Amino acid sequence: MPGSTVIQKSYVSKVNYNPNGQPQKETFKSQSIKQIDSEGKKIQEKQQAYENTSTGIQKAAHERRLNEKGHKIIKERNRNTGEEMEHTLFKGIGESIIIYIIFLLINI
């Protein structure tokens, strides 16, 4: 439906206790907004986060889409080892556009 907006938020948390009685928490958060403008274009932005205190894993993702094209950046970190990784995913975007975007990002 043109001119509509949907906002969604969710939060899930689980706590377990290890044999020493220490709490181990696992958390997931998500929020998104989806809009359809007056011309019928679909616009979406989503943010997600995950954390597990027993493994030390933390993840965060940010996604933006226009109609069926978009990109998602995922950052991961292990608090126990200090290891960090970043992934960029593209959907519906041709290789030449991806190369151009990377060129722009490098030259900022």
The one-character DSSP state at 98 is: H
Element (H, E) at 68: none
Q: What gap in Å lies between CA 102 and CA 108, rounded to an integer?
A: 10
Amino acid 64: pLDDT: 92
CB 65 within 8 A of CB 42: yes
Mean pLDDT computed over 34-43:
89
Please write the tens of the pLDDT for every residue from 74-91: 999 999 999 999 998 888
The one-character DSSP state at 22 is: -
Confidence of residue 100 (pLDDT cuts 50, 70, 90): low
